Amino acid sequence: MFRFTRAVGFTFLVLSGWLMGVTTGADSIGVYWGQNSNEGSLKEACDSGSYSTVIIAYLTNFGGGRNPRLNLSSHCDLKSGNCTDVANDIRDCQWQNVNILLSIGGAAGGYSIDSAADVSNVSSYLWNTFLGGTSSSRPFGNVTLDGIDFDVDYTPGDSEYYADLALSLRNHSRGSRLLYLSASVRCLITQSKLRTLLNRNSLAYTWVHFYNNPACEYNSSSAVYPDGSSLRFVNLMSSWSQWTSRNNSATVFLTLPASADAAKSGFIPPADLFEFLSIIRTSRNYGGLMLWSRYYDSQTQYASKLLNFTAPAAAPTPLPALPPSTPLAPGSLNPDAPPKPASRIPVIAGATAAAVVTLLVLIAVSSFFFGKNHVIMVRKRLDCLYAFRKSRRYRPHEDYVDQLVPGLLTRFRYQTLVDATENFSEKLGEGGYGSVFAGTLSDGTEIAVKCLDGIGPVKKSFLAEVETIGSIHHINLVRLVGYCSEKSRAILVYEYLPKGSLDKWIFHNDPELSLDWETRKKIISGVAKGLVYLHEECRQKIAHLDIKPQNILLTESFDAKVGDFGLSKLIDRGENLVVSTMRGTIGYLAPDWLGSVITEKVDVYSFGVVVLEILCGRRNLDRSLPEDSKHLLSLMKTKAEENRLRDLVDGNSDDMQLHAGEVVEMMKVAAWCLQNDVARRPSMSVVVKVLEGMMGVETDLDYNFFKPPEVAAHKEHVLALSPVCPSILSGPR
């Protein structure tokens, strides 16, 4: 059982944008889990509803040539390297919008980062084993954690190498996932290298430990200043004020023990902490709380008490006066700082109350003299302070998005995106619903900014993407980082994928740009695994409904990620989707759309078309070819009947021709996915098993594939149409 003596660390939050900000009256609370067998499961921690973040502790061995070792008490079978139960819990927690991080270091074990070689080795290990990379020995399987917590309390060696490790992990994440850097530090900094790191203004979040240090922690003394203000918060408030003013770019969190037994000093009773939070919660830099640990919190229900605390109706009995001989100078982050004057807490609280009363008086006066319309005008101008329009009809668009995926997406200011994209100067692509631009955030993170144009369909597309992928995590899905909806704008911000979309790599006649067989297999496997996650591993099935090469993006190493969820739909388990509109792109639409009920198998059909295009290096409809060759599916039927499928293998690639036999076998996988009878198509999990050699392809295949209608030349058409009387929205997405 560990006491709460952790002090210094670096934290990486790897996600599609993690907003740790809170609204008045609700605090974001995190907790450490994994070091006590009596603390309950990870799922139970998340199911409590108390936490927005859970940090799994610890990876205790790494660096210096050591074999990394995960120490999670008795929570999983570490010898086998397989923590299936914990992996399932992580997935469940993430579906509840709880972020899961892994802490490396801690008070036990052996670890160090003493060289550039250590940086490279540990960075690769963490990325491939727990984050967005690949490895044959991932203890949590294909689950991707949201971040890494660097606990360097007891770390020997040069701490500057941890900054290098931070940079290395950031480089791993480029083109894959958005990465935020945070620091966890003691309230009084003693290490100059940490002070240098903090002064670089590169931190998104700072977790400050206000415990085990009387100079900057809560004081349970009942003594008061001569003006009657309490001494309880003097040192804590002094340190807090300095932290929130010294680094304007970072969000600050209070790190506290969850019980008096969890630390030597610094525990704050819930009632007193609530009083303190009511003052600092309005700070621009306030982020929330981090507790040590789940075990102690499960004993005291500390987090639950904070979330459900009700302030007393009457003020407490005045405390006795402070004796003149009692020293008043509080601790300070800066040893040379002057003593803090009398507490400003009553002033802050009084000013806040006066502002609220003044606001209500102004509204009442406006209503009496100017009528209802003027009140509405006043209220609109004060929306930045109070949400008067609470009905869904008038609710600000941003608030509605926040309710879809609370706390998971970054809400960007429009000006921030203008600056990041240099006024939207570099266009990556354009479609029927808008354009995508390249951008770089102030911390160096590369992003892709999708600006949606239009009204009705665009709003549906915007909300569909947020609802479906705003809270899911998978290595083969494009990460949605955040959004902007200022003044009815509809802008989505994604991770940047440097190789662009798949169509640019398969629809050309340049042999030098041709992908080899292994790369094409890798892309096909990645798309398949992404669809397995959507169809089978999410709490609700997600039907993408627009699988095509333009919506498959590639990382620097040609790992495939499925993107563009603007037409996607959530489907409850065990149910089908009854549709009144046809969705998708001509050429990739399954025959199922001719009816009114569809399943996720429409994605399987579209996947089959994409696989065939990858293998043949051409579009499913190419009007530049002779009449008997322009329809790829019809041509495949003919070649299958003639036993000449090799003729379809991409002729621009010598490597594909060299592996023509294997390519033909992959074509049979595509044909299985293209079966007109939905019951005969495989699930995507079966497809993955076939690709991995765990089972074979169905042999009795029907090559009489569905032939889609033709549309205007050189255009792909995205549909959101009635299946009875369709009309086509032109322009690619």
Q: Is 450 annotated as a binding residue?
A: yes
**Is the bond into 168 cis (omega within 30 degrees of 0)?**
no
Q: What is the DSSP letter of 536?
A: I
Alpha carbon distance 607, 604 (integer Å): 5
What is residue 27's three-state secondary structure?
coil
Classify burial at 512, counting beta carbons within 10 Å of its beta carbon; exposed 0-12, middle 13-18, buried 19 or more: exposed
Cβ-contact 671, 616 below 8 angstroms: no
**Is the bond into 58 cis (omega within 30 degrees of 0)?**
yes
Three-state SS string over 202-249 comes to CCCEEEEECCCCHHHCCCCCCCECCCCCECCCHHHHHHHHHHHHHCCC
What is residue 410's three-state secondary structure?
strand
In this structure, what are the phi and psi dihedrals at residue 358, rounded to the nearest 5 degrees? Answer: -60, -40
Cβ-contact 51, 236 below 8 angstroms: no
Helix (H) or strand (E) holding 554, with range, is strand 552-554
Alpha carbon distance 728, 581 (integer Å): 12
From its phi and psi, is residue 369 left (phi > 0), alpha (psi between -120 and 50) or beta? alpha
Please report, to the nearest 10 degrees, the dihedral formed by the alpha carbons of residues 571, 576, 580, 583 taken in order: 60
Q: Which residue has the tokens 């229900």?
A: 301
Q: Which residue has the tokens 């295009």?
A: 613
Three-state SS string over 64-95 comes to CCCCCEECCCCCCECCCCECHHHHHHHHHHHH
Alpha carbon distance 608, 675 (integer Å): 9
Alpha carbon distance 117, 215 (integer Å): 39
Annotated binding site: 450
Binding-site positions for ATP read 450
